[in-house]
Amino acid sequence: MLHAAEETGATIIGEIFHQFAPQGVTGVVAIAESHLCIHTWPEHRYAAVDIFTCGVNFDPTEAAWLIVGQLESRDHEIKEVIRGDLPMPAVPGA
């Protein structure tokens, strides 16, 4: 997650990961552009990743492909969900 954020231009401002016993991890990487998070269920060979971003300097699709590669996923699905697509406010005096 950290590698994907760094390699795709995100500004990392914090991170936390929790290792479950006997297996699995939950992690959040806070970035100035929003966040990346992961939840894993190794016993099911499953991981769910959320990449939420705003701004133009970070490429979430590239980050997703880096994570797919790092997890060595052979069966993956990447979905893009547009949330909060609001019109830009008018700039006074422009």
Catalogue the active-site residues. 34, 39, 54
Question: For residue 6, with 0-12 CB atoms within 10 Å meaning exposed, 13-18 middle and 19 or more buried, which class applies?
Answer: middle
Is the torsion defined by CA of 55, 61, 67, 69 positive or negative?
Answer: negative
**80 and 74 in contact (C-beta within 8 Å)?**
no
**10 and 63 in contact (C-beta within 8 Å)?**
yes
